[in-house]
Amino acid sequence: MSIRRFPSVVLLALLLSLGVVPIIGFASRSWADVGGPPARCCSGMAYDAARQKTVLFGGTGVGGPANPLSDTWTLDGGVWTQVFPVDVPPARHSTRMVYDGARGRVVMFGGTGMSGPLNDTWTWDGTDWTQQFPVDVPPARSSPGLAYDGQRHVVVMFGGDAAGGSDDGVNAVPLTIVPLGDTWTWDGTDWTQKFPTPSPSARSSPGMAFHGATNRKVVLLFGGRESSTLFDGDTWQWNGSNWTNLPVTGPQARSGHRMEYDTDTQTVVLFGGFSNTVPFFNDTWTFDGRGTWTHQNPTSPPGLRCCGGMAHDQFRHRMLYFGGGTTNLVKLGDTWAWDGTNWSCLSSPSICST
C-alpha cells in the first residue's frame, strides 16, 4: 500500500509514536509516482474546482498530429486515472480547456481533428462530456487563447489558427499559419463576438489567464505567433470591454507557452514555449498584475519543451504541468508541480525530463 493512500490520521499517529515529526505536505510534492497518460503534447487541460480534480483531454502522441487522441484523464492528487465517459468528443489536438466557475463545468473549444480545425464546444461535468449547440459559433480554429473571466463570469477566447496547425513547435513551424484576431465570450449558453479597438494582432497560440487579485480582475494575454518567423512578446489585458497593451518588459517572444493564475502567490505563471530563434524554452516567469514580469530561477526546472498542459490545483496549492513536445519530435509524459519557488517532478525519475 502506498504511503500516500494510507489514512492520514492513522499515519500521523504512527509517525508520532515512533518519535518522527512529519513534514506535512512533503509527500504530496515529492514521493509516489503519479503515473499519467501516455506521452503527448498539445492536449487540453484544466483544473475542475467543483470536483477538485485536474482534467486532461486529447493531444498528439507518437502518431503525431495526423493521429490525434480522444482519451480523458483526471488527477485528484494521488495518481492519474483514465476515465471512460459515455459521450466522447472527437479526437483532437491543440484544443483549449478552462473551468467555468459560474456554471461548475470545464469548457473545451476547438482544436484540430482528423479532418481539420474544429469549432465545437463541449463541457465536462466530472462524469461525462456534453456537446453544446450555441446559436452563434466562432469560426473553426486550433490553438486559441482561452481564459475564464472570474469578474464577469464568462469564458474569453482570442485568436488561434484557422488553418488548424498543431501548436507543437516541432510540427508547426514549417506550416503556413492563418492567424485569427477575434475576441469571443461564452456565457454558458452562447458565444458572443466582441469588437474592441485596439486589439492584439492576429496570432496563434497566445498564453491567456485571468489575474484574480482583488485590485486586478483582468484577463492577461502574452505572446503567440503570427507566422513561422514572426513571434510576439507583448502583454495585453482585457477588462470585459477593451484590450489594453501594457508597456512592460517581459519574457522573450514565443508561442506554445502556457499561463495560469496561481491563487496562492496571486501571480500569473508562464512556462516554456518555442520561437523561430529558440527551439524550446524551459524558463519560468511570473506576472504580478501591476506591470512587472519576474524571471524565476528554480533549481530543478522541467526540461526544454512547449505545448504541454498546465493547470493550478487550488485545493492542493500547486501549479501542475504535464507533458509537451521537445527536440527530435519527442513527446513527453512527465508531471511537474510548481510551489511558487521550485518545480518538483511527480512522475517516476525514469520519465522526468530535465
* Within-domain flag for 73: yes
Tens of pLDDT, residues 13-65: 333 333 333 333 333 334 458 999 999 999 999 999 999 999 999 999 988 88
Tell me the C-alpha distance between 69 and 81, whole Å: 16
C-alpha–C-alpha distance, residues 260 and 220, integer Å: 10
Q: Say if 353 falls within a structural domain.
A: no
* 175 band by pLDDT with thresholds 50, 70 and 90: low
Average pLDDT over residues 225-250: 96
Q: Is 12 domain-assigned?
A: no
Which has the higher per-residue pLDDT, 311 or 66?
A: 311
Closest alpha carbon to 250 in 228, 263, 266, 269: 269
CATH code (residue 131) = 2.120.10.80
Residue 281 lies in a domain: yes
Q: How confident is the model at residue 290 (pLDDT cuts 50, 70, 90)?
A: confident
Residue 68 in domain:
yes
pLDDT per position as a tens digit, 91-123:
999 999 999 999 999 999 999 999 999 999 999
Residues 6+ apart with CB under 8 A from 334: 36, 302, 322, 323, 345, 347, 351, 352, 353
- The answer to the question of residue 145 being in a domain is yes
Work out the average pLDDT over 185-191: 98
The pLDDT of 208-213, averaged and rounded, is 94
The per-residue pLDDT for 312 is: 98
Number of domains comprising the chain = 1
| Burial 27-39, CB ≥16 within 10 A → b, else e | bbbeeebbbbbeb
Domain that holds residue 277: 33-345
Domain-located, residue 333: yes
In a domain, 308, yes or no: yes
